[in-house]
Amino acid sequence: MSTTFQLDTATSRANPTPAPMKRLTVPAIRRRKKDGVTADPIVMLTAYTARQAQLLDEHCDLLLVGDSLGQVIYGLPSSVPVTLEMMIAHGAAVVRGSYHAAVIVDMPFGTYEQSPQQAFENAARLLKETGCAGVKLEGGVAMAETVRFLNERGIPVMGHIGLTPQAVNVLGGYNARGRSDAEAAKIVADAKALDDAGAFSIVIEGVVEPIAIAATQAIACPSIGIGGSAQCDGQVLVTEDMLGMFERVPRFVKRYADMASLVSQAAANYAAEVRDRSFPGIEQTYQPK
């Protein structure tokens, strides 16, 4: 039994409690793929808060504290303005709210590209201040040296290739990648370079399906698809997209719920009862004894 911080749903407070099982580890995730086959596909969703992590934890192998929190939580136009401090605060919350899934935290733009030394300093801070199991960074061949540097110094790294949101200004948008022969070859080469450098898994995002399959087959570590292929070794979605919290539905997203309508209707019901003074009722007020 390990000890972690669990949310007491009666008080909404996090308290140290015995965890019913040990967390999944990075090596355990890596071993899911054996001889090029992942018999048990890897399930990953994003999480940004302790309560969200608590609800998702039992269903997931990995929880990703993605820099997508820039748009989802903070209303920023992209992930580029996200800071290390934001990632640390939300990463620590997700670790506190989970006990089963391995928690991976995105390294935000500008915290790892300059040099392997810069990447190590910031990645080490993420691990120490959040308790996460590893970090994720974007880029292929160009980042292989950094991935190797971190891995050799005890920091597990998840790679991210294809459509890399932090590079949206260079890519010119969020269009699918791999449509040209040159771009397809680069994606496969990026996957191989990260695999050789020691990445324990690689996110393949927004890549035309045959190239996502080719990249998956070219590497020994598991691939995690998002807008890739069901033949990737696992899948990830932004939880708010999967829950239907936004009107826009990207092509690669399947809505499993319509939470936006539920929240809006609940707020409308509350507002109506406040305005007609039916809330609070006797059940919600303190009466003289």
pLDDT, mean over the chain: 93
- DSSP-assigned states of every residue in the chain: --EEEEEETTTTEEEEEE-SSPPP-HHHHHTTEETTEESS-EEEEE--SHHHHHHHGGG-SEEEE-TTHHHHTT--SSSTT--HHHHHHHHHHHHHT-SSSEEEEEPPTTSSSS-HHHHHHHHHHHHHHH--SEEE--BSGGGHHHHHHHHHTT--EEEEEES-GGGHHHHTSS--B--SHHHHHHHHHHHHHHHHHT-SEEEEESB-HHHHHHHHHH-SSPEEEESS-TTSSEEEE-HHHHTT-SS---TT------HHHHHHHHHHHHHHHHHTT-SS-GGGSPPP-
pLDDT value at 2 more than 60: no
Is 67 annotated in a binding site? The answer is yes
Is 180 annotated in a binding site? The answer is no
Amino acid at 162: G
The mean pLDDT of 264-277, rounded to a whole number, is: 98
Higher local confidence (pLDDT), 1 or 185: 185
Is 106 annotated in a binding site? The answer is yes
92-112 pLDDT tens trace: 999 999 999 999 999 999 999
d(CA 126, CA 46): 17
27-85 pLDDT tens trace: 999 999 999 999 999 999 999 999 999 999 999 999 999 999 999 999 999 999 999 99
Write down the catalytic residue from 205, 209, 240, 273.
Answer: 205
Mind listing the domains of the chain with CATH numbers? 3-284 (3.20.20.60)
| 205 is a catalytic site residue | yes
- Greatest Cα pair distance, the chain, in angstroms, is 79
Q: Are 19 and 2 in contact (CB under 8 A)?
A: yes
pTM score: 0.91
Cα 61 to the center of its chain, rounded Å: 11
Is 79 annotated in a binding site? The answer is no
Is 276 annotated in a binding site? The answer is no
Q: Is 113 exposed, middle or buried (0-12, 13-18, 19+ CB in 10 A)?
A: middle
pLDDT value at 21 more than 80: no
196-217 pLDDT tens trace: 999 999 999 999 999 999 999 9
| Dihedral sign (CA 104, 1, 154, 188) | negative
As given in the structure block, the two tokens for residue 65 are 């504290």
Cα–Cα distances in angstroms (integers) from residue 60 to residues 43, 64, 66, 173, 183, in the given order: 5, 10, 15, 30, 32
Amino acid at 201: S
d(CA 253, CA 239): 10
Using alpha carbons, select from 155, 117, 153, 121 the residue that is nearest to residue 136: 155
pLDDT value at 190 more than 50: yes
